[in-house]
């Protein structure tokens, strides 16, 4: 009896271990009882969650069938009834709006108040439906709809993304070192290639960059991909600037800025593609090249809202060093405190910077360091200290 029980325990452990190894390797093993070990076939397991995006859309499915949880069914009925009530109210507000526009002397302020109320009712009539929330949470938001724009903006402002950006911006003194004030009005995301070792494939996979992290110079050789979530439906113009405010200024014993990128008059609106295109046709992107012997450098991307179309000359290479963001803002009436987008990361010197200076900038690489300490004993060094 004891022998039999021991064998049963070992067989159970063997099956459990085999199942664990199969799950860890993400393969399903198909085994025939009569087949030898070498003839076993493997096939990749399907992922538990299918890909969901605008390119691969899916419809929302109820998590519970009707009758499984009566409270859930009643909640859906209540949400639907509330939506229908709000839509009836929207019809009355729409009639009031049409009448206000057809008046002999339209009151612009009254029309704006009615339009704001109509927009609010439209959002409230749809925002509580679980299928609407599910689509926005899974990358299928329709930015032409007010309710989807409201949900995406609410998530950006209240679920940590904006807070993290502003925390890093103020902790690392982007405000006030670069701009006097900053109040982003839309979500700007930056993606660079992942850092790869020599043992992996050379195919570059772009990933989003968390604000304030360190990136290697080899990751930032090419221009980043810029993605946005803009919440206004009218087309507005923005100016893109990328600046490094941490370049040593030896003459004045301080720091100066280097302009890495400039692109004015970028049209953006809520329904335009998420990826911002045509952003390297003005002042071309120059990859970050933090100087050897200096502390880490901050690299800041700003999208300034424009009040009108501006004519900005291309900044030549010899004019990039010493570029003043504040003077540029004053000249073209740009104010980041009224909106726009922002992002930042940090970088340090490595061997790639030497290649950037040699191959791209065609300049000799500067090397900095701490100044030598004065030798207080230089006058007496080497002299006999005991005899005159």
What is the distance, to the nearest Å, from the Cα of residue 184 to the centroid of all Cα atoms in its chain? 13
Q: Look at the block and give the residue holding tokens 């290649």.
A: 355
Tell me what pLDDT residue 387 has: 63
Q: State yes or no: cis peptide before 27, omega within 30 of 0.
A: no
What CA–CA distance (Å, rounded) separates 195 from 297? 19
What is the distance, to the nearest Å, from the Cα of residue 275 to the centroid of all Cα atoms in its chain? 11
Residue ranges of the chain whose pLDDT lies below 50: 1-32
Pairing of strands 41-44, 297-305: unpaired
In the chain, the DSSP E strands lie at 27-30, 41-44, 187-193, 206-208, 225-229, 236-249, 254-268, 297-305, 341-347
Long-range contacts of 195-201 (CB under 8 A, 24+ apart): 195/219
**pLDDT tens digits, one per residue of 75-95:** 999 999 999 999 999 999 999
What CA–CA distance (Å, rounded) separates 128 from 314? 49
Cα distances (angstroms) measured from residue 221 to each of 217, 287, 288, 360? 7, 5, 7, 10
- Tell me the sheet residues that pair with 285: none
List the one residue out of 308, 306, 238, 310 whose CA is nearest residue 272: 238
Contact of 368 with 248, CB cutoff 8 Å: yes
What CA–CA distance (Å, rounded) separates 162 from 258? 26
- Tell me the sheet residues that pair with 190: 226
Residue 118 in tokens? 């109509």
What CA–CA distance (Å, rounded) separates 264 from 177? 22
Tell me what pLDDT residue 168 has: 97
pTM passes above 0.75? yes
Tell me what pLDDT residue 384 has: 72
Q: How many CB atoms lie within 10 A of CB 81?
A: 10
């Amino acid at each position: 009896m004891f022998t039999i029980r021991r064998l049963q325990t070992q067989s159970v452990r063997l099956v459990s271990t085999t199942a664990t190894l199969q799950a860890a390797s993400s393969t399903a093993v198909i085994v025939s009882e009569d087949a030898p070990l070498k003839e076993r076939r493997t096939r990749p397991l399907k992922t538990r969650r299918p890909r969901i995006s605008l390119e691969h859309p899916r419809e929302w499915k109820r998590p519970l069938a009707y009758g499984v949880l009566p409270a859930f069914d009643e909640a859906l009925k209540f949400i639907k009834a509330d939506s229908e009530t709000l839509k009836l109210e929207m019809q009355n507000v729409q009639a009031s709006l049409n009448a206000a526009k057809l008046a002999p002397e339209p009151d612009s302020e009254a029309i704006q108040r009615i339009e704001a109320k109509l927009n609010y009712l439209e959002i409230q009539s749809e925002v509580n439906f679980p299928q609407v929330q599910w689509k926005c949470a899974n990358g299928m938001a329709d930015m032409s709809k007010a309710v989807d724009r409201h949900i995406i903006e609410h998530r950006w402002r209240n679920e940590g993304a904006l807070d993290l950006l502003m925390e890093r911006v103020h902790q690392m003194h982007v405000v006030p070192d670069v701009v006097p004030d900053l109040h982003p009005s839309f979500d700007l995301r930056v993606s660079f290639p992942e850092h790869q070792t020599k043992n992996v494939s050379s195919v570059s996979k772009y990933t989003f960059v968390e604000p304030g992290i360190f990136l290697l110079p080899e990751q930032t050789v090419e221009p980043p991909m810029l993605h946005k979530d803009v919440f206004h439906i009218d087309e507005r113009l923005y100016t893109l600037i990328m600046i490094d405010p941490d370049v040593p200024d030896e003459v004045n014993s301080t720091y100066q800025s280097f302009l890495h990128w400039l692109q004015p008059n970028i049209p953006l609106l809520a329904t335009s593609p998420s990826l911002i295109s045509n952003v390297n046709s003005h002042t071309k992107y120059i990859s970050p090249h933090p100087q050897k012997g200096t502390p880490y450098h901050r690299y800041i991307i700003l999208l300034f809202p424009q009040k009108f179309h501006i004519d900005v000359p291309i900044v030549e290479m010899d004019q990039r060093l010493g570029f003043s963001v504040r003077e540029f803002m004053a000249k073209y009436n740009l104010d980041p405190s009224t909106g726009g987008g922002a992002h930042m990361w940090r970088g340090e010197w490595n061997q790639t910077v030497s290649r950037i200076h040699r191959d791209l900038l065609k300049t000799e690489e500067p090397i900095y360091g701490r100044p030598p300490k004065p030798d207080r004993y230089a006058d007496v060094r080497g002299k006999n200290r005991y005899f005159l």
